[in-house]
């Protein structure tokens, strides 16, 4: 029985060997000659050719008749799109948030862009003496919360800009400061956030609470969520180069990679 289970776990070796050719094609991002493909996969050209013939029959590889070069086919694209369609940032964020909370010992949360704005959908409470009054479903302001500022800095879309303008008008009215002055200060803050790669709020939304928020990107380079960490002033290290900030950037990068992000965010334009 032990031998049988071990054999089942071995799988079909020829499939694993043939996959090396697909892996080489995927990583090079361009059509390739047979000799280069075979060399990259570590096999003889004749052997590689037999695999490629089978791959072409099922449409996962195609060959340019004029150049003879091989590339991923239509079925490979269909598989890729199907896989991307199954990527759920909320589901995939669970282990990332748990690990981040354990590392920085602060409450962390995931937010997405909902019907009414930046909306908290998942929270991992660090269990610290001071409770962070944040709940799933909470919609956060764009101008004075770390989460909202992350969406203002790294997100895009007409509804987002409309909400930013509305909050700017309200802020200017309440502070009796010209809206142009408020906008200039906002742009200065957003520029710094984009340079740093994360946003920061220091006690502006909830007195005594500091926070960082980092954007999460999908395969199109679009911001689809943010990871936020919150803690009390005096305990939460809000320095830009703090271990907390670095841990958050690493966590967001990990989740973005799981969502197919290639490292180049889409241009978010101007607020």
- According to the model, what pLDDT value does residue 116 have? 81
- Angle (CA) 34-219-116 rounded to 5° is 165
pLDDT at 60 over 70: yes
pTM of the shown model = 0.70
The average confidence (pLDDT) of the chain is 87
Q: Where are the domains of the chain?
A: 2-84, 87-258
Please name the residues in contact with 226: beta carbons below 8 A apart, sequence gap of 6 or more: 110, 111, 118, 147, 150, 151, 154, 213, 214, 215, 216, 252
Tell me how crowded residue 192 is: count the other CB atoms within 10 A of its CB: 13
Classify 2-84 by CATH class: mainly alpha
- 40-49, 88-97, 186-195, 239-248, range with the lowest pLDDT: 88-97
Q: In this predicted model, what pLDDT tens digit does every residue of 12-44 receive, in sequence order?
A: 888 999 899 999 998 887 899 999 999 999 999
Instruction: Give the integer Cα–Cα distance in Å for 183 and 162.
Output: 13
Q: Does the structure show a pLDDT above 80 at 130?
A: no
Q: State the pLDDT confidence band at 4, using cuts at 50, 70 and 90.
A: very low
Contacts of 218 (CB under 8 A, 6+ apart): 84, 87, 89, 224, 256, 259, 260, 261
The pairing of beta strand 199-202 with beta strand 209-217: antiparallel
* Residue whose C-alpha is closest to residue 58's, from 79, 75, 35: 75
Question: Which of 109, 92, 97 is closest to 261 using CA atoms?
Answer: 92
Sign, CA torsion 28/43/52/33: positive
pLDDT at 271: 47
Which three-class secondary structure state does DSSP give residue 200? Answer: strand
Rounded Cα distance between 80 and 85, Å, is 9
User: Are the C-beta atoms of 186 and 168 separated by less than 8 Å?
Assistant: yes
Q: What CATH number matches the domain at 87-258, 3.30.450.40, 2.60.40.290, 3.40.50.11540, 3.10.28.10?
A: 3.30.450.40
Please indicate whether the domains covering 2-84 and 87-258 agree at the CATH topology level: no
């Amino acid at each position: 029985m032990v031998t049988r289970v071990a054999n089942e776990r071995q799988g079909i070796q020829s499939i694993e060997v043939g996959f090396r050719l697909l892996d080489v094609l995927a990583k090079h991002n361009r059509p390739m000659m047979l000799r280069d493909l075979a060399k990259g996969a570590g096999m003889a050209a004749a052997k590689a050719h037999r695999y490629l013939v089978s791959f072409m029959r099922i449409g996962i590889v195609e060959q340019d008749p004029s150049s003879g070069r091989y590339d991923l086919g239509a079925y490979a694209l269909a598989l890729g799109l199907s896989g991307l369609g199954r990527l759920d940032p909320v589901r995939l964020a669970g282990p990332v948030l748990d690990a981040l909370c354990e590392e920085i010992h602060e409450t962390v949360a995931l937010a997405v862009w909902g019907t009414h704005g930046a909306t908290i959908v998942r929270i991992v409470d660090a269990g610290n003496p001071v409770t962070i009054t944040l709940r799933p479903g909470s919609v956060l302001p764009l101008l004075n919360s770390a989460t909202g500022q992350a969406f203002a800095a790294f997100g895009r879309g007409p509804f987002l800009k409309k909400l930013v303008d509305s909050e700017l008008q309200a802020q200017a009215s309440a502070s009796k400061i010209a809206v142009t002055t408020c906008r200039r200060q906002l742009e200065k803050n957003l520029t710094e956030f984009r340079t740093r790669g994360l946003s920061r709020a220091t006690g502006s939304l909830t007195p005594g609470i500091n926070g960082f928020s980092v954007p999460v990107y999908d395969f199109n380079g679009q911001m689809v969520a943010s990871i936020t960490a919150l803690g009390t002033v005096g305990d939460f290290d809000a320095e830009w180069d703090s271990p907390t900030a670095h841990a958050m950037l690493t966590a967001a990068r990990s989740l973005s990679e799981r969502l197919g992000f290639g490292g180049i965010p889409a241009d978010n334009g101007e607020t």
